[in-house]
Structure 1
Amino acid sequence: MPELDLIDRKIIVQLMEDATLPVALIADRVGLSQTPCWKRIRRLEQNGVIPRRVALADPAALGIQVEAFVLIEVSEQGAEAQAALCALRAETPEVMEIWRIAGEHDYLLRIAAPDIASFDAICHRLQTRVPLRRLNAHLALERIAFTTAYPLDTHP
């Protein structure tokens, strides 16, 4: 990854807040003219610092009634369990994130489903496809705080 200078970090902060901002506005906010700003954004994209730009959606407006965090401990460590999780993710869009974690459990999954029956079916599929020792599901009751923006130092 390339070294990010102060201007790069300021550009990234602007895009994390609103990826639809016009380049002219971003340039003005970070103290550049349009062309150098646009070139920096292109370089950040080409170098993988900004892999893609997406829109955030309201889960309730999309009919998502169940959001859950599932902690699993696999019975067999290694590539097989991870491959099984990735295969499940590829065919189950409700599995939004998979994290390999340290501690008592091996993986953390974030699942968003339209209803509890759908969530239960996903958990059943998980149990039949991945060599599990233990599965702990935690249903989210309320989102208190949320961001997709990583903290970046933008002070000189």
Structure 2
Amino acid sequence: MNKAGKIEVNIYLDEKARETISRELNLYLSNLQVFYAKLHNLHWNVEGRNFFKVHEKLEEYYDYVSDHIDEIAERILTLGYRPLVKLSDYAQNATLKEIDSKRYDVEESLNIVLKDFSELIGQLRNIIKLVQEYGDEGTADILIGSLKEFEKDSWMLRATLS
């Protein structure tokens, strides 16, 4: 800690890079938090044919997203900044939209998840490009892993819905 009480971060990324990347990661974190809540909503409210399989798959998705949320928040801290934690901040910053608590049939549920995966994939591609321009391979590595996972999940949902 320096004399001003600020934690010094020396991971060979300048402060502008760390600040810009942290801001983008907080926007992504906001979308992940909305997606996490949405997956729980669908998990609890899905009904219809193949309920058991879809119910279990939605749980797998929210477990993965929960772990990814933690990883993103810890990366923001690694960069020397604070992750957003207030639900109001997530709602204000997220581009993903919440859904109501009501009955969702299986096909509708899977289409909602597929649409959100698509938005997250687009956001990830933009952030990956940004972090690579700054030479932040640590953040890129985290994000590329999730990009790969979300792309695979999207393919599987498209195959299921066809």
Q: TM-score range by the shorter chain?
A: under 0.3
Higher strand share: 1
TM-score by length of 2: 0.24
Question: Is the helix fraction higher in 1 or 2?
Answer: 2
The higher radius of gyration belongs to 1
Give me the TM-score of the superposition, normalised by structure 1. Answer: 0.24
